[in-house]
Amino acid sequence: MKTQFITLIFALFATISFAQSTSETPRQNIPTDSAVAYRLFSTQNMYTFIKLDTRNGQMWQVQWSTKGSQYRFETTLSDVPLVNKDEEKNDRFFLYPTTNIYNFILLDQVDGRTWQVQWGKEGERAVIRIY
């Protein structure tokens, strides 16, 4: 009886120690350096990043590939500055991932304005102000 109890306890501890979380969280490898003009934000697609001009909120979708140059590109998500030139400063804008693979929230860290940023195929890309 004592051996069975010890075996059961050992089995429970072994099960708990090998348990893994199944929740998916977007990966973010954001550097901690400050005062940078541009940042790359990873998406849940291993080939796609969003390049953000942290001074004015302009963004580009960047895709890399090992298959050839026809699969590598940088395309505009938003080429309209979200602040006037005299209001630009490094690290003003920041992207936050959502649980949706194609969407991020863009935050103006100075005045709190927010936008929904959607990357994807041509025609599916959008930057929409959230009021």
Distance CA 8, CA 67 (A): 51
Examine residue 61 and state whether it is found in any structural domain, yes or no: yes
Q: Can you give the pLDDT at residue 22?
A: 46
Q: What is the pLDDT of residues 4-61, one digit of tens each?
A: 655 555 555 555 555 554 444 445 555 556 789 999 999 999 999 999 999 999 999 9
State the residue range of the domain holding 114: 36-130
Neighbours of 96 (CB within 10 A): 13
What is the model's pTM? 0.74
Examine residue 103 and state whether it is found in any structural domain, yes or no: yes
Identify the sign of the CA torsion 33, 39, 44, 45.
negative
Examine residue 12 and state whether it is found in any structural domain, yes or no: no
Q: Can you give the pLDDT at residue 72?
A: 92
CA-nearest of 127, 131, 110 to 60 is 127
Examine residue 84 and state whether it is found in any structural domain, yes or no: yes
CA max distance for the chain = 78
Average pLDDT over residues 84-109: 97
Distance CA 121, CA 129 (A): 20
Examine residue 109 and state whether it is found in any structural domain, yes or no: yes
Examine residue 11 and state whether it is found in any structural domain, yes or no: no
Examine residue 51 and state whether it is found in any structural domain, yes or no: yes
Q: From residue 76, how far is each of 14, 17, 37, 48 by CA, in Å?
A: 50, 46, 17, 13
